[in-house]
Every structure is written in C-alpha cells, then in structure tokens.
Structure 1
Amino acid sequence: MKSTRKPAALILVGALTTGALAACSGGGDPEGESTNASGQVTLSVVSLLPGSTEEAVAAFEEQVAEFEEANPDIDVVPEEYEWKATTFAAQLAGGTLPDVFEIPFTDAQGLVENGQLADMDAQFRALPYAEQFNPTILEAGTGEDGHVYAIPAKNAYPVALHYNRALFESAGLDPDQPPTTWEQVREYAKKIADANPGVAGWATMTQNNTGGWQLTAQTVARGGRTVEVDGEQKATATLDDAGTKETLQFLHDLRWSDNSMGANFLLDWGSINQEFAAGQVGMFTSGSDIYTSLVQTNAVDPDTYGLAPIPLSDAPEAATLTGGTLAGVPAGVDDAVKDAAIRWIDFFYLDKLVDEERAVADAETLAANDQPVGTPVLPMFSQEQYELNQEWIADYVNVPLDQMTAFTDAMFDLPLAGEPSQKTQEVYALLDPVVQAVLTDEDADIDALLADADAQAQAMLDQG
C-alpha cells in the first residue's frame, strides 16, 4: 500500500479506543515487593479480550515467550479484560488493573492530573526512537510538567464505515462501491434490511459511552462539534448544534420511517462487533482498526468484510474523528516495575514499527497463528515510516486489503478532527440516553433532549 501523497495532519487530542483492553490483577506493589521467588520482576500486562480464539491466545503466548527469553529477569503475567468507560475508573482506583494497561487518548490527561499514572518520562526518553513520535500523539500522554506519563501504544485510527459485502450483494448492491454520502447510507440500509428480514441495514452503538462517541463521530462528519474550546481553553458545550440534530434525525428516519435498524438498540463496542460478525448488521461506524478484533474475538468471515471512509458532508468543518491508545502504569509502582514495563511496551507495541527485524518476527508469529497482519491505521511516527514498515511485513500481510481500498486510497487525505478535549467521557455518557431515546420513542423530542444534555454538559465543563 504505497502512497506518494503527503500525510494528513494528525489532530489527535483524544478518542475512545476501538480496541478493548485487557487485564485485571492488581497493579505493581507500592511497597517495592515486585519480584517473585526466582528474583524476577513480575509484570502483569493486558492481553486479549475474553473469548478470544485459541489462535489469538496462541499468538500472544508466543510473543510472551519470545519476550521472556530475551528478558529472563521479567516474568510476564497476561490477563484478559474488556475496557469499558463505565467501569475503568473504579478498577484503577481499586488497584485491579495490571502493571501495564491501555487507555484511550481521552482519559490520559485526567489520570495525570489526578496522580493516577506513574511518571514514565525517564523510561520513555531512553527509547532510541523517542524523538520520532508524532508530537501531537505524544502530547496526549504528556503532563503539564512536560513529563511523559502514558506512552503511545498503538497506531492511531480514524472512525470509518464498516460494511458486510455479502449483505450488499444480497440487496443488489455493489460491494466494491460503498456509500460515500449519508443519503446513500440510508438508501443502502433500507435495501439491505428489506432483502434480509431481521437484519439491521444500519446499526449504531448506544451505551457504555459508545453511543455518545459515535454520535459525536457522525456529528463531526456533518461539520458539527459537541464541545468547542477557545484559545484560553474555555470549553463551551455545543451538543445541540445542527450536525448533532441532523444525525439524530437521520437515525430516527432509519428506525421509524425505513425500519432499517433491526430490533437491538442497546449495543456497545463489543456487542455491535459481535452482531456485525454474525451477519446481523449491514453497516456501522467505528475505529478503522477493528478488523483485528473481529478476527480475534468474533471469528468474522474475511470474505464478507469491507472498509470505507465515514461519509463527509459538504460542510466546511466536516471531518473524520480520530483516536488511539496509550499504555499506562499505575502510580505508586517501584522503579523495577517501571523499567520492566517500558521493556514490554517497547517489545510488544513499538519496536516492531521502527525495526525491520522485530517487525518481521512479529508479523511471522501472528501470521503463523492466523492472526491479522496489516490492518489499516494511521501512522504513529510518519507516513514514510509507516510505508517502510508495510514493505517489511508485505510477505505476511493477510488482511483483505483489496476489500478495503475505498479506505486505504483515501486514508492519508482525510480531514481529521480530535475528540472533545475536556470531559470527553462524561459528555459521551450524557449523549448515550439521547441516542437510545430517539431509537426507542418515535415521538422523542430531539431539540429538548439535546437542550437538556447541553445544559448538563456545560455545568460539568464549568466545574473544570
């Protein structure tokens, strides 16, 4: 996937992570007892979603074994966990997260301000490629003191349109020509639903803060915003702007006029993936990187998968919402755990992006276990480094890139926008019930619902 185009600016203030996180065994020992009976540092790390396939588990275990062979002084303890905005804070406060956990860009600043993340600056600066990061990505995990607390762990992603090619064909649609406008999305959704009784031609997330996330994504795609921040960092709630109202009316019409959205209106990141992989959803929006999880956890049929950019309106500010994942370590862990953590972060997440030998070894392990290699994402460093990395692993790429060309041909030219930089998850939580109301009450008053949510959001923003 070579491109000669200039990379788009990465406006990555934050985003709800599309990948679920893994973990739950208590973070490092604040008293310094981080070694086991063999004198090794015991390091608990996020692994995979519960219910991941045997092949995915085998690939992860091989990676752990490779790391431990190269680092005999570290005993890695993988733990499964699914990140949810509604439970994460309690788990972190309760000490039930692992020593290395993942967080969305949107959460890092609040955790730094609350003193809940370990200062990883010294460990981060020791990485040989520390100065190569896209500065906007690095900023997401950097505190006001200039220290790095959370380290970019995965390439960034834009929100994209995911669609089922088999359902397209069943409805007489060309799977190589995905919709490029919201009007086409509505038209295609109805055709899919009419041709496949019980199937949602279009579906959207509605709970655990994901309803607000995707409502915001579609608002931004129509040129709107849910929070505006001025040059003095004063935040103004704009939940009731025209883009949000237009999105909710769009959902209302698909649900009540077209009967194109099926019968399940309580979906979040994990459950909509499951419904999609099972052939019960024709189209939905989420991060561009979810193909990996669809394979690892939901056993999606690769032949049915298609990926395209989220449709953008003609509004001047229309853009694609972006996001990404950071790796964090709980505050209070000792230096031995922090040093072990940076070695794992380097090995598992980052070195494979900048080192050819490591990139090939990682891709070979994944491909040998039938795990996705080459899922499209935005570059963490530069477009040039990303394309070089793709050349290194070309022999192992096994994702259906020919079914993703609508996205990959456009990915470096997309106008990008970050998520709300203040009270992000809280704003999303306020919008969840608005989306649910529109999908469950035909007479829902969109203006009133948004006015109420906007007032609540402004009160939260004013509290700082």
Structure 2
Amino acid sequence: MKKNPRRLLAAVLATGTAAALLAACAPADAANSDGKITIVVGDRPPADQAESLAALDKSIAAFEKAHPDVTIESVETRWAADTFQAMVAGGTMPTTMAVPFTEPQSLIASRQIADISAELKSTGLGEVLNPAVAAVAQDASGNSFGVPTDVYSVGLAYNRALFTAAGLDPDAPPATWDEVRAAAKKIADTTGKAGYSLYTSNHFGGWMMTAAVASFGGTIENADGTASTVDSEPVQDYVNVLREMRWTDNSLGSSFVNDAQPTLQDFAAGKIGMLLSLPFDYPGLVQQYKMKPEDFGFGALPQAPGQSATLTGGNVQVFSPSATKEQIVAGLEWLKFNRFNAYTDKETAVAKAEADAADGNIVGLPALSPVSSEAYAQYQEWISPYVNLPLENFASYSAVAESQTLVPEPRTKAQDMYAVLDTLLQGVLTTENADVDALIAEASAAVDAKIAR
C-alpha cells in the first residue's frame, strides 16, 4: 500500500499547480536553447513542509552544480489513479515521478511509462539495485520500467516487556502462526492484555491481511489482477486462526474495529503483545507515542508450514513515455545523487547519518533495502558509529528480510480490495459462530465485482 499513519497511506491526489503543469508540458524531445537538458521531477513537498522543501532545493542546487548540463524543475505533481491516464495523454506527466508498488505492472501493460533498461545499464544504477525488489518494475522479459526507492516488507512487531511478563523469550519471537497463537494466549492469560491485535478498518486491515495470506502461500487476486483468489485455502487458513484466537482463546483483546493510529498507540502503551507492522513504525512509536526503545521487538512475518513469503510495497520512480533518452539518463543520475548515494557513497552515508543523529532522528533502522545485499551491508558498516536504536531487537527480521519471497501488493484496485477484506475481518471478529465460508465467498464475489468495474 502504503497508506501510512506516518508515511501511512493511500494514493495522494495530484496537487501540481497550474504553473507546475505548464512546466511539465515542456517539450520532452529537445534540449534547451543553451544546450542544457531539462527534467521535470514530481513529488515536491507542499509549502507547509518547509524543512523538506529546503532540503530538496539544497540537493537540487548541488546536483545542478555537479551536472551543469542539467536543469531540474521540481513540481508537486503526485500519483493519483484517477488522473494519471489523462496526465500521460495530455503530456503533463513529469519526466519522473513516484507511483506505488501496486501500479507498475498495469502501467507497463498499457505502455504508459518508459522502458529504461538501456539507461539503467549505461548509468550503472541497475548494478546496485536489489534484484528481488527491482523485479516489481520489470516485465516478463526482464525489461525495466522503473526504480524502486522506498521499500518495505511486513513483519511482526511485538512488545518485549509483555513477552517477558508472560514468561516468553523476547529474543525469540514467533516464527509460525501456531507459535503466534500460543504466545498470544499466554500473554492474554498472564497479563490480561491483548496477545495479538490487528487492523480492521480504513483499508489497513485488508492490507495487513494480504500480507498474512502471503505467509500462507496465497493472494487475494490472481497474478494478472483479473480475478479474485479470496475464496481459497490460504485465506481460509488465516481467517480460521483469527477465529480460534478470538472465540476460543480470547487472546485478541476487546477491540475489533481498529484503525492504524489508535492501534499503534495502544501497542506503544503496552496494551498489545503483537501485531503485523513495518519497521518504519518504530520512529513514530518511540518518538511520538513514547514507547521505550528496549520494549520494541520486530520479527519476520510468521509463516504457515513450508512457506517463506511476505508482502512488499513502497514507491517506484517511473519515467514519462515521451521522455528522451537524454532526459531518462539525467533523471537516473538525479536518483543516484538524491536517493542512492546515501547507500553507495561512504562520505554521503556518513554525513547523513551524523546529521540525522545530531538532529535526534533515528539512524540505522533495519528495513528491506532497495540496493543489493552487498551494498547494504557496506552501508550499514559505514553508519554503524551513529546507529541509535537497539539493532538486536530486529535480529530475527533482519536475518530473513532478504531471503523471503517478496509478494507485491495487488495489481488491480488494491485499496478497493483492502476495504472488502476489512469487512470480512470485522464479520469474523464481531459475530460468534459466523459462517466463515459464506463470508469468504461474499468477499470473493465483491473483489470480482470491484475488478470488473
């Protein structure tokens, strides 16, 4: 997804001003009269984000100084599913902009973004990308149509203090769903807190349920995004785990219509033992909701027997189909400078880590990396003197983050799918003896109807 309570969620409406749109309409097939190449870069922060704007403008100025043949025009245009096609057709798409992980495959199929394979090779950027992540923006032949940047994978957040209070080992979080169920019951019985909790509203529930279903070997849509796969054994298996935890074990607490922000607040306050989450939730939990850093633990997404998969998402930088080769190369050089040098250049990595630590920002947060495992290991070594969080509390997640099969979010109408699954979850958790098979069949039919529209 990422709908995001911090970064939390949803496709954002295009906010480019008229001037920005006019800039984006500049001819894409010619250099400026002075011989410079102009690229239009989307996703400029809004005016109320002064610090982000200043940082971006500083980076643009530094890039243009290092690349005197390139001019960058920064515009606020952002991804919105209901306006993107018109933007491409009207020639107002920036040279490069971010789209969610849910979108590249459909944009590739409709030829609405540029093939950048040759330019990735010529700039050397392709060599440093994480192959498993880069595949999100590739077609069946391995041609590349974008560069993944902000990347996440889902894992299990858990409260180490509650684990200790319940007699569980806080250094060994559950690795299977059977272990999750057993640990949740022990936490609930021993401490009176919710052993496990889950989002069930505002699309967050469906998003995390899609991750859980991946860990059972399933999906909610077929690979082409043309039909529902909700009425399936993996969905039934996960829903039945929840039903048993709710109605037999009584280990899910007392709240069953849960949005993300209040659930994270309860987790930070020690009211929840475990929930599916992202590493990126850590800063908000610790800095905003005042959770003790030593109480936060993060493990890999629990798995069904024989499975090793998790949901992945984030943003992909894509390029206008009308961009010239020179503009694509310039855009990739900008991405290298602005986004990837922090991973691949020691001086840049150390300077950023030092500045972030001085400003009180989190440094060294483990996450799924957009760069190769070798590059990421080197980066972690460079910044190690400035890391200011307990890395050992993420050990079980970090151990498998690069090896799990990465399942992208649904291709077609992901947010609509998540809303349907929210309703399914609420039905299972709020109605004892609910007909689970009927609820799943109803959800599957609703997903098919959404896809067909």
Cα pair distance change 1:313/1:42, threshold 3 Å: closer
Give the structure-1-normalised TM-score: 0.74
Structure 1 CA distance, aligned partners of 2:3 and 2:55?
25
Which of 319, 324, 329 is the aligned partner of 2:313?
324
SS in 1 for 2:170: coil
Larger Rg: 2
Contact 2:155/2:278 (8 A) holds in 1: yes
**Count of aligned pairs:** 424
Q: Which AA in structure 1 matches 2:247?
A: W
Which of 267, 276, 295 is the aligned partner of 2:259?
267
Counterpart for residue 407 of structure 1 = 397
Structure 2 regions of 5+ residues with no counterpart?
29-35, 66-70
Contact 1:159/1:217 (8 A) holds in 2: yes
Q: Which AA in structure 1 matches 2:358?
A: A
Which of 345, 349, 366 is the aligned partner of 2:356?
366
Matches within 5 A, 1:19-98: 19-20=7-8, 25-26=15-16, 28=21, 29-32=23-26, 43=41, 45=43, 61-62=54-55, 64-71=57-64, 74=72, 88-90=80-82, 92=84
SS in 1 for 2:310: strand
Contact 2:43/2:98 (8 A) holds in 1: no
Q: Does 1:207 align with 2:201?
A: yes
Q: Does 1:189 align with 2:189?
A: no
Contact 1:373/1:399 (8 A) holds in 2: yes
Structure 1 regions of 5+ residues with no counterpart?
1-14
Q: Which AA in structure 2 matches 1:418?
A: V
In the TM superposition, what whole-angstrom CA distance separates every residue of 1:95-146 from its partner, at most 9, and x where no partner exists? 7999865433222222444566567667655533224434453332246897
Matches within 5 A, 1:275-314: 275-292=266-283, 294=285, 300-314=291-305
Counterpart for residue 392 of structure 1 = 382
CA shift, 1:160, in A, is: 0.9
Counterpart for residue 241 of structure 2 = 250
Which of 105, 118, 122 is the aligned partner of 1:109?
105
Contact 2:158/2:297 (8 A) holds in 1: yes
SS in 2 for 1:140: helix
Cα pair distance change 1:119/1:407, threshold 3 Å: closer
Give the structure-2-normalised TM-score: 0.75
Q: Does 1:127 align with 2:137?
A: no
Contact 1:100/1:328 (8 A) holds in 2: yes
Structure 2 CA distance, aligned partners of 1:123 and 1:164?
46
Cα pair distance change 1:434/1:105, threshold 3 Å: same
Counterpart for residue 10 of structure 1 = none
SS in 1 for 2:43: strand
Contact 2:24/2:94 (8 A) holds in 1: no
Cα pair distance change 1:91/1:459, threshold 3 Å: closer
Structure 1 CA distance, aligned partners of 2:162 and 2:45?
33
Structure 2 CA distance, aligned partners of 1:272 and 1:91?
32
Structure 2 CA distance, aligned partners of 1:204 and 1:99?
39
Contact 1:118/1:328 (8 A) holds in 2: no
In the TM superposition, what whole-angstrom CA distance separates every residue of 1:359-392 from its partner, at most 9, and x where no partner exists? 2222222222222222222343432222122112
Contact 1:222/1:243 (8 A) holds in 2: yes
CA RMSD of aligned residues (A): 4.2
CA shift, 1:434, in A, is: 0.7
Counterpart for residue 169 of structure 2 = 174
In the TM superposition, what whole-angstrom CA distance separates every residue of 1:20-72 from its partner, at most 9, and x where no partner exists? 478863164343299xxxx9988553559x9x9xxxx8588546534434436
Q: Which AA in structure 2 matches 1:105?
A: F
Cα pair distance change 1:362/1:63, threshold 3 Å: farther
Q: Which AA in structure 1 matches 2:313?
A: G
SS in 2 for 1:326: strand
Q: Which AA in structure 2 matches 1:328?
A: Q
Q: Which AA in structure 2 matches 1:261?
A: G
Which of 334, 345, 349 is the aligned partner of 2:335?
345
CA shift, 1:415, in A, is: 3.8
Contact 2:221/2:228 (8 A) holds in 1: yes
Give the fraction of aligned pairs with identical amino acids, expressed as a percent.
30
